[in-house]
Chain A
């Protein structure tokens, strides 16, 4: 049958080889395995069995892309021959916008970059300013920063847990993750007043101290997550269908990942053993005991496994930080007007999705002269074509889901 007929509105199909001369067929998935065998390949090259390629435009509006992300996939039956991510639909020009605002306004602006981990976005800016202005941050503020950043990491990871399971068609774990998120969200809301855009980290410390009862609430919420993780394992990682869908699917080689600057759970899934929290400790991360989870194969399952186990490690850090929370002020000595002295600084932190870097150049004014932001999702998404090659359409969704990217973080 003619694959052309169904091509319709989305775009013209591409033809390959003898094109109209040979009979047109749409490949059955079973046959695709056959196609790899040499006998079949030679038949194709002789022009007797010619298959049509079809250009499938996934996105900018597609449920699996969680945002305006476009993927140009050339498919042969259900097999993806080539895939090309197209980004930029959500470019909001933050790097330019921040040049027009003073430092305190920037804090609230950049938390909208990666909207799932707002407080983690605010952190590198605060660190960069403190380094430039040589402000000493009191230990209580540092401990609270770590605790909140890690709670935000748990929020982020649970969100990706739910979206990944929903994309694989398992709806129930989705809502389980939301139930746990809500407890942590509530604890964070009691501190910051916000649910997504917290605006809580200030150069020199924090906006205000935590309310009474926060520590108990946060600890209870985090412990509940740990307590319920076995349920997740039962529902997803232990499930035979889930394993079949993810193991050896979308393998991202370590070398490829390195060359694209892939970091975070995706990089660690490809066994790039790198975590800024451990390698170049900022704040007081060096005082806590936690492990960096690493995958071995770089497939969807490993990426997901890393994500899930980082939740446990983050919970460990939160517990330690809140248990050892020192008393004292939460704000260092900061001048009334925040003016960074002339100079430049590069700060990198471990965002939930990977390495977040802020290159801040100051000309001595109230506003930054230039801020270059290195966001993890952008580098991670760049490596997508390598993982997507020669997979099936159904795998494409699993791979997109396992690449854990936030569109706001890709485009800024």
Chain B
């Protein structure tokens, strides 16, 4: 038997490589699921030809098509900022996956401040969106970028506050620690508060990712594609489609970790413990993705000022109240 000894650095490198492969593939699969779920909700079939069976290779084919597209940079654009923006959007999304525990031991790095890292990194992408909108020298892109910035400020708070309540309950910021601290039944515990926190997190996450009904920054019927109006080819794919899908899956995974008990079985029953945590995690994340897409295709788009009102007058006060309730639960609850 050959014994391979790897240094810590090498292990980290392998893990990073895995992330670099898994995330784009996951985004491709996510894109396919998006196509299919949307189509079936809308009485259509969706992609049916590419690759043979139910058009499984459609997103792959789209990706290849985009790779062959001309990379256009508008003459009046700020060229350096314009070309950098997609990377600034996509890389933070990749970094999100570093701290999400897929199983108790399957994690790139179990940071002690994992939750903090997630929240901090998760909002960096908005800078990329602002860069894209600003440097495009296009009015629609500018309006989209400004909307995106406003949205980030308004919706970061509910996410942070609901995550803070979870951290209070778990007593740790480490994501593995949070999953371990969660008891069955996950989202309805503590009674009422847990579910409210979960919904709050969902609303905030959808707004931060600019998914419909909060997709005002891209609002294709108003602003063409918002900040990405001038982008073509691979920059468009990485800045917009890939980042959007990968971000959605990442947030589904974060929601699973924080609220749905991560890699733990759905019910604490002895025979279910045999099934590996990775599978549980996958099932729960898929459910979250399904939920996000379901909402996405059901509702019309809000208006930016209505969205801000919703955030500042409803969600943020609510999240503060929930923090208070969580504190009271920890102090006086069972």
Interface residues of A (CB under 8 A from B): 3, 5-10, 26, 28-30, 32-33, 54, 56, 62-64, 78, 165-172, 174-176, 179, 235-236, 239, 241-242, 244-245, 392-397
Given A8-B137, A63-B220, A171-B38, are A235 and B305 neighbors across the interface (CB < 8 Å)?
no
Min CB distance, A180 to chain B, in Å? 10
Contacts of B299 on A, CB cut-off 8 Å?
Answer: 169-170, 239, 241
Contacts of B38 on A, CB cut-off 8 Å?
Answer: 171
Min CB distance, A401 to chain B, in Å? 8
Q: Which of A54, A179, A241, A397 contacts B302 (CB 8 A)?
A: A241
Q: What residue of chain A has the Cβ atom nearest to residue B215's Cβ?
A: A169
Contacts of B222 on A, CB cut-off 8 Å?
Answer: 64, 167, 393-394, 396-397
Besides A26-B146, A171-B212, 5 other A-B contacts (C-beta < 8 A) = A29-B304, A29-B308, A64-B221, A245-B300, A245-B306
Contacts of A397 on B, CB cut-off 8 Å?
Answer: 219, 221-222
- Complex Cα gap A78–B226 (Å): 14
- Complex Cα gap A175–B43 (Å): 7
Contacts of A236 on B, CB cut-off 8 Å?
Answer: 300
Contacts of A33 on B, CB cut-off 8 Å?
Answer: 305
Contacts of B44 on A, CB cut-off 8 Å?
Answer: 175
Residues of B261-312 whose CB lies within 8 A of A: 297-306, 308-309
State whether A56 touches B139 (Cβ < 8 A).
Answer: yes
Min CB distance, B231 to chain A, in Å? 15
Q: Which of B133, B300, B308 contacts A239 (CB 8 A)?
A: B300
Min CB distance, A30 to chain B, in Å? 5
Min CB distance, A398 to chain B, in Å? 9
State whether B138 touches A245 (Cβ < 8 A).
Answer: no
- Give 23 A-B contacts (CB < 8 Å), ordered by A residue: A5-B134, A7-B137, A8-B138, A9-B74, A9-B76, A10-B139, A28-B150, A29-B150, A30-B305, A32-B305, A64-B221, A78-B304, A169-B300, A172-B297, A239-B300, A241-B301, A244-B306, A245-B300, A392-B305, A393-B143, A393-B223, A397-B219, A397-B222
Contact with A along B53-96 (1 / 0, CB 8 A): 00000000000000000000010100000000000000000000
Min CB distance, A169 to chain B, in Å? 3
Contacts of A6 on B, CB cut-off 8 Å?
Answer: 133-134, 136-139, 141-142
State whether B216 touches A172 (Cβ < 8 A).
Answer: no
Interface residues of B (CB under 8 A from A): 38, 41-44, 74, 76, 133-134, 136-143, 146, 150, 212-213, 215-216, 219-224, 297-306, 308-309
- Complex Cα gap A392–B146 (Å): 14
Contacts of B143 on A, CB cut-off 8 Å?
Answer: 78, 393
- Complex Cα gap A9–B74 (Å): 9
Min CB distance, B315 to chain A, in Å? 15
Q: Which of B134, B138, B219 contacts A10 (CB 8 A)?
A: B138
Given A6-B138, A8-B138, A393-B222, are A172 and B305 neighbors across the interface (CB < 8 Å)?
no
State whether B298 touches A235 (Cβ < 8 A).
Answer: yes
State whether A245 touches B302 (Cβ < 8 A).
Answer: yes
- Complex Cα gap A27–B91 (Å): 31
Q: What residue of chain B has the Cβ atom nearest to residue A166's Cβ?
A: B221
State whether B43 touches A179 (Cβ < 8 A).
Answer: yes
Contacts of A175 on B, CB cut-off 8 Å?
Answer: 42-44
The count of A-to-B residue pairs whose CB atoms sit within 8 angstroms is: 119
Contacts of A245 on B, CB cut-off 8 Å?
Answer: 300-303, 306
State whether B139 touches A172 (Cβ < 8 A).
Answer: no
Contacts of A392 on B, CB cut-off 8 Å?
Answer: 303-305
Contacts of B216 on A, CB cut-off 8 Å?
Answer: 394
Contacts of A394 on B, CB cut-off 8 Å?
Answer: 216, 219, 222, 301, 303-304
Q: What residue of chain B has the Cβ atom nearest to residue A165's Cβ?
A: B300
State whether A176 touches B139 (Cβ < 8 A).
Answer: no
State whether B139 touches A54 (Cβ < 8 A).
Answer: yes
Q: Which of A5, A8, A29, A176 contacts B43 (CB 8 A)?
A: A176
Q: What residue of chain B has the Cβ atom nearest to residue A168's Cβ?
A: B300
Interface centre among B41, B139, B308 (most CB of A within 10 A): B139
State whether B139 touches A169 (Cβ < 8 A).
Answer: no
State whether B138 touches A172 (Cβ < 8 A).
Answer: no
- Complex Cα gap A267–B134 (Å): 41
- Complex Cα gap A9–B219 (Å): 21
Min CB distance, A228 to chain B, in Å? 11
State whether A8 touches B300 (Cβ < 8 A).
Answer: no
Q: What residue of chain A has the Cβ atom nearest to residue B44's Cβ?
A: A175
Contacts of A64 on B, CB cut-off 8 Å?
Answer: 221-222
- Complex Cα gap A239–B301 (Å): 11
Closest 7 CB pairs of A and B: A169-B301, A8-B137, A6-B142, A29-B305, A175-B42, A170-B300, A168-B300
Contacts of B42 on A, CB cut-off 8 Å?
Answer: 171-172, 174-176
- Complex Cα gap A393–B221 (Å): 11
State whether B219 touches A169 (Cβ < 8 A).
Answer: yes
- Complex Cα gap A244–B300 (Å): 10
Q: What residue of chain B has the Cβ atom nearest to residue A31's Cβ?
A: B305
- Complex Cα gap A128–B252 (Å): 64
Contacts of B298 on A, CB cut-off 8 Å?
Answer: 170, 172, 235
Contacts of B212 on A, CB cut-off 8 Å?
Answer: 169, 171
Min CB distance, B307 to chain A, in Å? 9
Contacts of A393 on B, CB cut-off 8 Å?
Answer: 143, 222-223
State whether B139 touches A8 (Cβ < 8 A).
Answer: yes
Contacts of B308 on A, CB cut-off 8 Å?
Answer: 28-30
State whether A241 touches B139 (Cβ < 8 A).
Answer: no
Min CB distance, B154 to chain A, in Å? 10
Min CB distance, A396 to chain B, in Å? 8
- Complex Cα gap A169–B303 (Å): 11
Contacts of A10 on B, CB cut-off 8 Å?
Answer: 138-139
Min CB distance, B221 to chain A, in Å? 4
Min CB distance, B309 to chain A, in Å? 8
Q: What residue of chain A has the Cβ atom nearest to residue B133's Cβ?
A: A6
Contacts of B213 on A, CB cut-off 8 Å?
Answer: 169, 241
- Complex Cα gap A165–B212 (Å): 13
- Complex Cα gap A397–B224 (Å): 12
Min CB distance, A178 to chain B, in Å? 8
Q: Which of A56, A171, A395 contacts B297 (CB 8 A)?
A: A171
Contacts of A168 on B, CB cut-off 8 Å?
Answer: 221, 300-301
Min CB distance, A176 to chain B, in Å? 7
State whether A244 touches B303 (Cβ < 8 A).
Answer: yes
